[in-house]
Copies of this chain bind each other. A is one copy, B any other.
Amino acid sequence: MEAALKAIAAPRRRQILTLVRSDELSAGEIASHFDVTRPAVSQHLNVLKEAGLVSERRNGTRRLYRARPEGLAELKAFLEGFWDERLETLKREAEKEEQKKHGHKH
């Protein structure tokens, strides 16, 4: 999860991910969408690949990239777990508060 988080923490990499979310694109096509040099994009693609967030497929001299949603699974689970646990705590606290009120009445 650490790698995926670090990877999507950079805005440019999120932009790249969004680009290859529904289309398979070559490194060059991806780079043409941005104002940075191709090597910069290449380095970002490598980070995304290492994090399991994109897949790479070679076709002739081109390399085609596309998003791998499974790479985000662990992070998604962490967030949802965190969220649920926090709401659970809030609920318990509300119940306690309710009980206190009830106690005062008698």
Contact = CB atoms under 8 A, between A and B. Distances in A.
Nearest to A68: B86
B2 A5 contact: no
In the assembly, how many copies of this chain are there?
Answer: 2
Interface of A is mostly: helix
Contacts of A69: 82-83, 86-87
A89 B9 CA distance: 24
Contacts of A76: 79-80, 83
A67 interface: yes
Interface of A: 2, 5-6, 8-9, 11, 17-18, 21-22, 67, 69, 72, 75-76, 79-80, 82-83, 85-87, 89
